[in-house]
Amino acid sequence: MKLAGSQTILAPRETVWKALNDPAILKDCIPGCEAIEMTSPTEMKATVALKVGPVTARFSGAVTLSDLNPPESYRIDGQGQGGLAGFASGGATVKLTTVSAAETLMEYDVDAKVGGKLAMLGSRLIDSTARSLSEQFFAKFATLATGLVTQVAAE
């Protein structure tokens, strides 16, 4: 499954970059994320619980940041095991472009794969679920990144 999109965020590029690398913000944005922790500057461990059609699974896995070009772009890849439900893996290339001093354009290309019971649900259900989860993530992320600007201004 592949998905691409963009979103204008009402925050400076440096603020958006900082948010993209903040485990607390990522935890709030990733649908079903129960825990996420940095294990190194470029690696994280995560636990995510999701329901896809009739299958509910808890994935434990690793997230890796690569191709780092702060504060402009990076690649985030993850893979998780969901026990009997199967596995999921995927990633996103994220690019940030300054639109103005207070606005950043975030462009993303997402790819995802599943295996096991999840793969037997059919590509249509998997694609629509992945699209929905992606949209939820990026919408929540834009809200939280914009909130960081308000929080900094109030301090």
Residue 99 lies in a domain: yes
Q: What is the distance between the alpha carbons of residues 82 and 91, in angstroms, rounded to a whole number?
A: 17
Q: What is the pTM of this model?
A: 0.86
Residue 143 lies in a domain: yes
Q: What is the distance between the alpha carbons of residues 116 and 136, in angstroms, rounded to a whole number?
A: 25
Residue 140 lies in a domain: yes
How many domains are there within the chain?
1
Residue 66 lies in a domain: yes
Domain of residue 55 covers 2-147
Residue 102 lies in a domain: yes
Sole residue written with tokens 């103005």: 100
Indicate which CATH number applies to the domain containing 115: 3.30.530.20
Q: Residues 17-59: pLDDT tens digits?
A: 999 999 999 999 999 999 999 999 999 999 999 888 888 889 9
Q: What is the distance between the alpha carbons of residues 155 and 153, in angstroms, rounded to a whole number?
A: 6
